[in-house]
Amino acid sequence: MLVEALNNVVEHAYLEQPGNTIDIELSLLNGNTRIRITDTGIAAPGTVLLDGLELPNAADLPEGGWGLCLIQALADTIEYYHYPNHNQLVLTKSTTQ
């Protein structure tokens, strides 16, 4: 989840331009691992985090396109926030399953 989320920040929020920061906060609370990723890049479109996406067929994808689907398949919850000066993605995964 973390690798795919960070790749999305680099590729989409920062348009692969060097010199930008990504803050990562990892915490464990009540049996849940929580990952908070903060960037100051371009906000994700409002339609990017849709519930119920299915993993795409490998034959239909040339190289990319799996990131968000993999995140959704692996995370128990996904929250995305856009603030005036930064974006924040919060992923949680139960460690008790």
Residue 87: per-residue pLDDT:
94
- pLDDT above 90: residue 21: yes
Q: Where are the domains of the chain?
A: 2-94
Write the pLDDT tens digit of every residue in 53-88.
444 554 555 455 677 888 888 999 999 999 999 999
Model's pTM, two decimal places? 0.80
List of E strands, the chain: 22-29, 32-39, 77-82, 87-94
Residue 95: per-residue pLDDT:
85
Q: Are 2 and 24 in contact (CB under 8 A)?
A: yes
| Stretch 2-11: mean pLDDT | 94
Architecture of domain 2-94: 2-Layer Sandwich (3.30)
Residue 54: per-residue pLDDT:
47
